[in-house]
Amino acid sequence: MRRPLEIRKAHFPGRAPIDTYGNGGFRFAEMSHRGSLLLLPSGIYGWDVVEGDPLTPEAFERVFLEAADIEVMLVGTGKEIRPLPAALKAMFREHKIASDPMSTGAAVRTYNIMLGESRAVAAALIVV
């Protein structure tokens, strides 16, 4: 008897550079993912945020759970740079995380460089 297909929340248990992005997804670690991503010290997670969604502290809840291991949070806001709302910036400051919004492409490039330097970096990448 076959078991039903189990669909789990996307999670890659490690850190990996982003190889490519665009067309609705990302490629990393010889895998592909459709949709947005959170790249954290504990791994890479699917993130249910799309361009234009409000950037609320609740959307970054998983980030704040790992705040002790994050010094810099890159926020790829989509095709265009979007400022972070005051409440979200305040939460990052409260957790002693420097936050930097930029286009998703710039965030991918910056994340890859900082990851290569073994920096305490995390990223939230809105899919383009």
pLDDT tens for 24-56 read: 999 999 999 999 999 999 999 999 999 999 999
Residue 91, C-beta contacts closer than 8 angstroms, at least 6 positions apart: 57, 60, 64
Q: pTM of the full predicted structure?
A: 0.91
Backbone φ and ψ for 73, nearest 5 degrees, come out as -115, 110
List all residues 6 or more positions away from 60 whose beta carbon is below 8 Å from its beta carbon. Answer: 73, 88, 91, 124
Region 111-126: mean pLDDT is 98
Question: Where do the DSSP E strands lie in the chain?
Answer: 11-12, 18-22, 25-28, 31-34, 36-40, 43-47, 72-76, 98-102, 121-125
Each domain of the chain, given as residue ranges in start order, spans: 11-125
Could you tell me if 41 and 66 are in contact, meaning their C-beta atoms sit under 8 angstroms apart? yes
Helix boundaries (H) for 29-103: 61-65, 86-94
Under a CB-based contact definition with an 8 Å cutoff, are residues 73 and 98 in contact? Answer: yes
Please state which architecture CATH assigns to domain 11-125: 3-Layer(aba) Sandwich (3.40)
How far apart (Å, rounded) are the C-alpha atoms in residues 37 and 45? 6
Residue-wise pLDDT for 5-25, tens only, equals 444 466 788 899 999 999 999
